[in-house]
Structure 1
């Protein structure tokens, strides 16, 4: 089976994380569980030992069970005509190959922040304008894809939620390589823009003042707080390359537990959901019925954990959009915000984020 490629000009790389952590993995043991839903399928030999066909990749990326937001390629094939498809990759990858009639998201715009008295927050006006410029309307059902299910993709999903998107928001499990339907190539500049009026969903994020008011309660009597950075950054490991030179101080927010976000991803797909349930509910001891806040160095990587928790049934998940960079560096009327290094809870994870799409070679060469 081959994938049909078409040039959709005039018709209106790698998404591992904002730092380009392709094939990045933590050095921890993968937590295993049999609970929950499964991501279906194993690769077929397709008549040639060790050879994977597009149909195999698509089948392996199907999603079954009680999983929200993530869908497989068969869902897209059945719903393509009624869904706005958004590409989260860079412009070069988009021009090279994409889902036919997909629209590329201006990534810098959907990560925009605004400064408020309470701290940094998503700039919902700028984000809504960016979606409007590529013809997205608030009521559209949307599917987002990239090279994998990395944090560029999940940031687009979060941005839609933050502006109060009314339509359904879904992510393609397996990324572009899982799609064996019609493809487009070339520039695409014929999409009509629209006015996207945001209805900001402030319950999707928190500010530094919201957090400061609750210091001392996280993962105890108060909300759960998850640091998604690598353990070395969370632990303020001296001499580690993971420490950001732009930060005045290192460590983590008091009471936060560390669960590196790459544990959510297995190559180009989401990690098996049963493992995720064990990781977050059993090991991290998060309450799926309570409020959970996620943060990282920036406002991109933590959206992977934000969407993953929602997908496995957590009811109230929020992003600290200002991130550790704001918390560690700002000096407000309240003085410096507390940073912790002495008390640490690191949940061991292992994962990898799929890298370059090479198009695949599906011939049997022996």
Structure 2
């Protein structure tokens, strides 16, 4: 990539007049709540059929499907609900099973750094009767990061069946619904086959510092620009982080740019955002990270959906990187560069899964 410094020590920031520098996000960091579209008057009436039709997915897009796919495959697919228990009891897709969200974000500590806890994740899916070869559809209130974390967790344990996400979330579904406590399902033994190619560790990244978005892998920070830039006094700076900033060479693309209300952002816009503006190579390795291991999965799945071949999650996140003090000493944190790709997006419902909450 051009127009930014990617040295381990930070270097000088790009000059303000540099024409290759990305624009800083103009609006204040954060996302707006996007509810179901409806206005007063006959022309503003929105029917369930309208919502469902707008959520259909066409073209060469992976993983995301519209409600018609679910209608055609309802008897074959295991449907997983990524929302909290209260919302699940109030209303859900008939026969859906609620995912124990805390379990599927579990990490284990290794010599190389934090990694997904495949045994804990597999046990959680097995408890709700998911088998390794089941075709799975995940939904939430929207296509926010709680939903994409479920998809990532399945991929991380080597799930053999297909993994799909319902575009538009629950509001796009106008089929049969259920209420109350969950339907009885028989637990199954889920023997994980960890897919280590879906994530990277702290040491994997440390070995490649100085090459990101240059001669080495693409690296995307999915946090708000204020966190990426370590903006003094910003509420985006986590108190439990010893240091602030970003991994050297990372480009910032806030994950909410992947979501337009309850649906995925237009695929053409995603291609422009990541290939043209962020200058990522779809045929190369791309690593995504945030403060936690939930929000970055939105970018992980969005990149895979538009054809990126090798996308990986840093499951330890910036919190591990900023606080670790190992054999290498402190890991380098950069604040001088400000390569921020401008994004627009909003998350409907309550599917923001990490410490950044779009909806309260």
* TM-score where L is the length of structure 2: 0.86
1:146 aligns with 2:132: no
The answer to whether the 8 A contact 1:121-1:207 is kept is yes
**Which secondary structure state, in structure 1, belongs to the residue aligned with residue 335 of structure 2?**
coil
Q: Give the structure 1 partner of residue 72 of structure 2.
A: 78
Q: Give the structure 2 partner of residue 183 of structure 1.
A: 177
1:220 aligns with 2:194: no
The answer to whether the 8 A contact 2:122-2:191 is kept is yes
Listed as ranges, the gaps of 5+ residues in structure 1 are 1-25, 30-42, 358-366
Give me the CA root mean square deviation: 1.6
Per-residue CA deviation, residues 19-64 of structure 1 (Å, 9 max, x unaligned), is xxxxxxx6459xxxxxxxxxxxxx899x932110000000000000
**Counterpart Cα distance in 1 of 2:27 and 2:114:** 33
Per-residue CA deviation, residues 273-319 of structure 1 (Å, 9 max, x unaligned), is 00000000000000000000000000000000000000000000000
2:128 pairs, out of 134, 139, 149, with: 134
1:229 pairs, out of 204, 223, 226, with: 223
1:303 pairs, out of 292, 297, 301, with: 297
Instruction: Summarize the Cα distance change of 1:153–1:224 in structure 2 as closer, same or farther, 3 Å threshold.
Output: same
**Which secondary structure state, in structure 2, belongs to the residue aligned with residue 225 of structure 1?**
strand
The answer to whether the 8 A contact 1:28-1:349 is kept is no
Count of matched residue pairs: 318
Q: Give the structure 2 partner of residue 167 of structure 1.
A: 161
**Counterpart Cα distance in 1 of 2:170 and 2:318:** 32
- Give how far 1:188 is off: 1.2
The answer to whether the 8 A contact 2:95-2:183 is kept is no
- Give how far 1:245 is off: 0.6
**Which secondary structure state, in structure 1, belongs to the residue aligned with residue 75 of structure 2?**
helix
1:205 pairs, out of 184, 199, 205, with: 199
- Give how far 1:80 is off: 0.5
1:350 aligns with 2:344: yes
The answer to whether the 8 A contact 1:28-1:348 is kept is no
Instruction: Summarize the Cα distance change of 1:182–1:301 in structure 2 as closer, same or farther, 3 Å threshold.
Output: same
- Give how far 1:356 is off: 5.8
Per-residue CA deviation, residues 143-191 of structure 1 (Å, 9 max, x unaligned), is 0000000000000000000000000000000000000000000001511
**Counterpart Cα distance in 1 of 2:165 and 2:182:** 22
Listed as ranges, the gaps of 5+ residues in structure 2 are 1-24, 29-36, 352-360
**Counterpart Cα distance in 1 of 2:26 and 2:93:** 34
**Which secondary structure state, in structure 1, belongs to the residue aligned with residue 125 of structure 2?**
helix
1:91 pairs, out of 80, 85, 88, with: 85
1:252 pairs, out of 246, 250, 253, with: 246
**Counterpart Cα distance in 2 of 1:27 and 1:310:** 27
- Give how far 1:344 is off: 2.1
* TM-score where L is the length of structure 1: 0.85
